[in-house]
Amino acid sequence: MSDVAISADQTEATGRTGRMIVYAIIGVIGICLLFAPMLFPDVRSQEVAARICIFIVLVASYDLLIGYTGIVSFAHTMFFGLGAYGTAIALRQMGPGWDAVLLGGALGLLASLILAALIGLLSLRVKAIFFAMVTLAAASVMAVMASQFSDFTGGEDGIIYKVPKLFSPATKLLTDDDGKVLRIFGAKANGKMAAYYFVFFGSLILYFIMLRIVASPLGTVLEAIRENEMRAEALGYRVVLYRTAIFCIAALIAACAGILRALWLKYTGPETSLSFAIMIDILLMVVIGGMGTMTGAIIGATLMSLAQFYLKDLMEIASQATAGIPLLPDLLAPDRWLLWLGILFILLVYFFPAGIVGTLSKRGGH
Amino acid sequence: MEQLGSYFERYGGINLLPVILAVIAFVLIGSPSTWLTLTVAGLAMGMMIFLMASGLSLVFGLMDVLNFGHSAFISFGAFIAASVLAALAAWVAADSVLLNLTALFLAIAAAALFGLLAGWVFEKVIIKPVYRDHLRQILITMGALIVAEQIILAVWGGSPISVPRPHFLTGSLIIGDVSIELYRLFAFVLGLVAYVALYVVLNRTRVGLLVRAGVENREMVEALGFRIDRLFVGVFVLGSALAAVGGAMWAGYETLITAAIGSEMMIIVFIVIIIGGLGSIEGSLLGALLVGLMGNYVAFLAPKMALASNMILMMAILLWRPYGLRPAVK
């Protein structure tokens, strides 16, 4: 497995200045996310903030696989989707109550666990590339099934449903003396805020769980497996079991992120939770942030999400500015933003395989 | 049971699997004419998938490179062939078989030529810097796939494009109460020709010998002084061209194509090379036929299960043989 590993000195080389920069960025992002409802009260920014929270969890859990263990999986959206669809279907069938969230979420988690264990035990003993193909096939089959069984899943249209009353915008969390919704720095303390903080703290807890896993003996064994599978096996670690275990853990965390997403959006469809486009997003985020670093997930997810929401506006302007030139406006059209990200992605993999965090961490060292 | 096993081995072993599948389907379907139509459709589909899969499998076997961008060649082949056919609309619709054939030949040749050139560029620019680094290979070829798909969207637009079929290939051959689409027969024959040609090149020529030896044990061939990286470029380019031709044929088969055609086929191509075992064209053919037949039978018997059935087939075969049916590399 050493061929899939990023070289050890990339993660171990410690540059103080670089790391300080990374922590400063993380701090800024953290504060922005924590006070997002007050700092960015408009609906679109709230959407971006919640999306960033959820994707940080999703990307970090994917990094447990690709960065820490050297497992290349394309099934991560499958687990994300299972969590989201489980919650969504239960909320649709049973009505907006916490019992539905618990039952649906639990079923989603259970399904993820079973599937992850099956795929893991079946195919984690073979080559990395083989595993990548198997997971790709499994994920696409899941996506097709979600669109086929439209009675349950709503097919391509997805499902719209109501969430528990606490999260509805009409709910007053805190009231002032007149009985109106209290405003904290201009932000209404209503159900929307409750939903945001549910997503935020949910993501935070999941993120801390992952930090704990990485720092635990399990994390060390995983890195040993990534660096040299044969040696880890020779040391007495059952490599297949460890790999399957981390695959299951990552799947469960992804499913939890899916539950958060379903509760926040009040809508679940292939585009928001199951499509291959999301898998590509996750991959881009991991690589941009830096593989094998938990902080990379935060930076990668934030950068990509901001780009996704705001780059399109910029490209619109560029496209109109170049309207006279052939083909160029087509290439600069807002819908083509993925083209430029793809090119950026290739360049990153060539020149900065360690990502932003990995590259920064090396600066100023030695 | 043991005796049954030895009979199985004696009369062709795993090569019998498509036949067994066909027999089971015959019992389940009941109506011979429907069965025959489905079987021909399955074989035609299998042959087209074989065209797309064989190159990828050989490339993997020879250099341990997995190209997730392979499906970009399929998409480009489909779109280029569609454009050529659309440009030659008059010839395509004409009543003369000669004009029809010329148009078809030009379309396929354009796709193949593009595959050759693009494959060469792709190998030099994308693959070469990341030899022996699986993770970066997967990431970079994934990135290339994204870019390729976006370029198709930018050039041909987002709406589906309809592909005209040459006049002499429209319609069906009717034997008794069985109707067989001519295009499917043509696809089958073309796939068979490609398979035979590949088989002859690999088994009867010196280059083929080197390729097979390279798949089997690359270091040994290198130690004997052969430049396996040059050989690899040849195989890669040829594989890309085959994928483009496969895409062109598939475009005519579907008659309506979108930019997602490549990524849709990629899943099936992966399933095929996993089932067949990496690195062998016999394996690819076997896997492609199994997947093609299975897909068509299941689409008739239980329409919702079509793609899932291929997945189940793959799981079952991986449980039975973890490296696929006829692997050339382990």
Of A3, A283, A327, the CB nearest to B132: A3
Full 3-state SS string of A263-321: HHHCEECHHHHHCHHHHHHHHHHHHHHCCCCHHHHHHHHHHHHHHHHHHHHHHHHHHHH
B112 shares contact with chain A (CB less than 8 Å): no
Residue A363's pLDDT band (boundaries 50, 70, 90)?
low
Residue B182's pLDDT band (boundaries 50, 70, 90)?
confident
A149 shares contact with chain B (CB less than 8 Å): yes
| pLDDT value at residue B45 | 93
Residue A6 in this model has a pLDDT that exceeds 60: no
Distance (Å) from the alpha carbon of A343 to chain B's nearest alpha carbon: 7
| pLDDT value at residue A263 | 92
Instruction: Say whether domain B15-320 belongs to CATH 3.40.50.
Output: no
How many whole angstroms separate alpha carbon A116 and alpha carbon A75?
A: 9
How many whole angstroms separate alpha carbon A155 and alpha carbon B33?
A: 34
**What is the pTM for the complete model shown?**
0.84
Best residue in B67, B132, B139, B330 for a mutation probing chain A (most A CBs within 10 Å): B139
CA atoms within 13 A on the CB side of A148: 14
Q: Which chain B residues have a beta carbon less than 8 Å from that of A137?
A: 267, 270-271, 274, 310-311, 314
Best residue in A73, A144, A226, A325 for a mutation probing chain B (most B CBs within 10 Å): A144
For B126, which residue in chain A has the nearest alpha carbon? A346
Report for A95-104, B94-103, B129-138, B162-171: range of highest mean pLDDT: A95-104
| pLDDT value at residue A11 | 45
pLDDT tens per residue, range B121-156: 999 988 888 887 788 888 899 889 889 988 998 888
**Average pLDDT, whole number, for chain A?**
85
Distance (Å) from the alpha carbon of B79 to chain A's nearest alpha carbon: 17
B316 shares contact with chain A (CB less than 8 Å): no
Distance (Å) from the alpha carbon of B320 to chain A's nearest alpha carbon: 11
**Residue B286 in contact with residue B14, Cβ under 8 Å?**
yes
What DSSP string describes B126-171?
Answer: IIGGGTT-HHHHHHHHHHHHHHHHHHHHHHH-SS-EE-PPPGGGSS
Residue with tokens 């490339």: B59
For the ranges A19-33, A63-77, A208-222, B301-315, the lowest mean pLDDT is seen at B301-315
Looking at residues B256-283, what average pLDDT do you find? 87
Full 3-state SS string of chain A: CHHHCCCHHHHHCCCHHHHHHHHHHHHHHHHHHHCHHHHCCCHHHHHHHHHHHHHHHHHHHHHHHHHHHCCCCCCHHHHHHHHHHHHHHHHHHHCCCHHHHHHHHHHHHHHHHHHHHHHHHHHCCCCHHHHHHHHHHHHHHHHHHHHHCHHHHCHHHCEECCCCHHHCCCCECCECCCCCECEECCEECEHHHHHHHHHHHHHHHHHHHHHHHHHCHHHHHHHHHHHCHHHHHHCCCCHHHHHHHHHHHHHHHHHHHHHHHHHHHCEECHHHHHCHHHHHHHHHHHHHHCCCCHHHHHHHHHHHHHHHHHHHHHHHHHHHHCCCCCCHHHHHCHHHHHHHHHHHHHHHHHHCCCHHHHHHHHCCCC
pLDDT tens per residue, range B85-105: 988 888 888 878 888 888 889
Looking at residues B217-227, what average pLDDT do you find? 87
CA atoms within 13 A on the CB side of B103: 27
What DSSP string describes B8-46?
Answer: HHHTTGGGGHHHHHHHHHHHHH--HHHHHHHHHHHHHHH
- What percent of chain B has pLDDT above 70? 98
Q: Which chain B residues have a beta carbon less than 8 Å from that of A125?
A: 322
Residue A366 in this model has a pLDDT that exceeds 50: no
pLDDT tens per residue, range B34-58: 898 899 999 999 999 999 998 888 8
Q: Which chain B residues have a beta carbon less than 8 Å from that of A127?
A: 134
pLDDT tens per residue, range A271-306: 888 888 899 889 889 988 988 889 999 999 999 888
Of A129, A141, A330, the CB nearest to B307: A141
Give A168 or A298, the one with higher predicted confidence: A298
B267 shares contact with chain A (CB less than 8 Å): yes
Q: Which chain B residues have a beta carbon less than 8 Å from that of A145?
A: 308
Neighbours of B177 (CB within 10 A): 11
Look up the ipTM and state it: 0.80
- Cross-chain Cβ contact B135/A283 below 8 Å: no
Q: Which chain B residues have a beta carbon less than 8 Å from that of A67?
A: none
Residue A9 in this model has a pLDDT that exceeds 70: no
**Domain locations in chain B?**
15-320
Q: Which chain A residues have a beta carbon less than 8 Å from that of B315?
A: 122
Residue A160 has φ and ψ, to the nearest 5°, of -110, 140
Give B196 or A185, the one with higher predicted confidence: B196
Give B118 or B7, the one with higher predicted confidence: B118
pLDDT tens per residue, range A329-343: 777 777 777 888 888
- Cross-chain Cβ contact A339/B267 below 8 Å: no
